[in-house]
């Protein structure tokens, strides 16, 4: 299945207060994204810190986002677990609460086989009627969804894509080759957005676009219309800011970046810590160099 969404999706942060999720602040961020032309919003992905959230907080965040978005863009909910039954339950709940699609991370910690990965996604897809995007991020999960497995997954009717954050461009090219025309591939690494798009990626699921949604969307559009001069110019401008956004573990820097833009992003939940002083100065410098108004 292809064509669920194309262009730019933002891997949204979750703003927290001491009392829980700051839904009003999340609403402001949603409007910021939609007004900038972002094509889809991903909530409760890695950047949203769902591992630190209660089931009630996750449900409330899904309900609020679906209601706030009102169908103006696609709402994609992060699910997935190291327990297949739990991943299936999360997928069903997200569908019931109005999600347009799912982003299901590979099972973490257990380090299952490629056969186990295929069975995991087959069960998730069979449990819901909405599109499912696999999320390959071996640096966090300890398991790598290989191109041959992606090729098998592409035969499942509602398996619509894979968010590739392996960081291995050779592997991504092989996945693109094997799944072309059957399943979409999305860049999950802001530093590789340009080459993945140019090689046939359908879009990006971006951390950086929390801060600069219009520029990231314009990058995807420039590649779509084959304006490589504009695409490379945008990518060159975005690259230093992207590096600053990953100077520490995601979402530590981007959350501080949203605070610096004037949003009430709060701080990451433990065990994550606030951005270090040196990296905060680096982030401020890169945000200013990009032309962003920083409230430092």
Residues whose CB falls within 8 Å of the CB of residue 62, separated by 6 or more in sequence, listed in order: 43, 44, 77, 93, 94, 97, 98, 99
For the chain, how are helix, strand and coil distributed in percent, rounded to 5? 50, 15, 35
Closest by Cα among 122, 110, 178 to 146: 178
- The CB density around residue 38, as the number of other CB atoms within 10 Å, is 25
Angstrom distances, CA of residue 294 to CA of 139, 260, 261, 262, 285: 31, 5, 5, 8, 9
- Tokens coding 232: 């490379």
Which residues partner with 77 through β-bridges? 43, 102
* Sign of CA pseudo-dihedral 266, 67, 162, 235: negative
The answer to whether 187 touches 193, Cβ cutoff 8 Å, is: yes
Q: With the CA atoms of 267, 265, 139 and 102 taken in that order, what torsion angle do they form, in degrees rounded to the nearest 10? A: 130
Closest by Cα among 105, 160, 163, 101 to 128: 101
CA–CA gap between residue 177 and residue 170 (Å, rounded):
11
Q: What is the DSSP string of 248-269?
A: SSTTHHHHHHHHHTT-----PP
Peptide bond before residue 209 is cis, with ω within 30 degrees of 0:
no
Catalytic residue IDs: 135, 163
């Amino acid at each position: 299945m292809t064509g669920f969404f194309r262009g730019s999706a933002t891997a949204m942060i979750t703003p927290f207060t001491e009392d829980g999720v700051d839904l009003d602040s999340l609403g402001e961020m949603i409007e910021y994204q939609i007004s900038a032309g972002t094509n889809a919003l991903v909530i409760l992905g890695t950047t949203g810190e769902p591992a630190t959230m209660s089931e009630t907080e996750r449900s409330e965040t899904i309900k609020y986002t679906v209601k706030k978005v009102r169908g103006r863009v696609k709402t994609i909910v992060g699910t997935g677990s190291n327990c297949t039954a739990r991943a299936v339950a999360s997928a069903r709940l997200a569908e019931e609460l109005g999600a347009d699609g799912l982003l299901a991370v590979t099972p973490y910690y257990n380090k299952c086989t490629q056969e186990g990965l295929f069975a995991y996604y087959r069960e998730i897809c069979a449990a819901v009627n909405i599109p499912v995007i696999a999320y390959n991020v071996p640096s966090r999960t300890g398991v790598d969804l290989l191109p041959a497995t992606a090729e098998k997954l592409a035969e499942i009717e509602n398996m619509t894509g894979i968010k590739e954050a392996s960081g291995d461009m050779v592997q991504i090219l092989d996945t693109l080759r094997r799944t072309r025309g059957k399943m979409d591939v999305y860049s999950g690494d802001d530093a590789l957005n340009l080459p993945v798009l140019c090689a046939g990626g359908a879009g990006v699921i971006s951390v950086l676009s929390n801060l600069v949604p219009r520029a990231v969307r314009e990058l995807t559009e420039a590649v779509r219309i084959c304006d490589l001069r504009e695409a490379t110019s945008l990518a060159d401008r975005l690259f230093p800011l992207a590096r600053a956004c990953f100077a520490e573990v995601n979402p530590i820097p981007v959350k501080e970046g949203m605070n610096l833009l004037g949003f009430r992003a709060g701080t990451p939940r433990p065990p994550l810590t606030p951005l270090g002083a040196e990296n905060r100065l680096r982030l401020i410098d890169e945000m200013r160099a990009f032309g962003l108004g920083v409230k430092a």
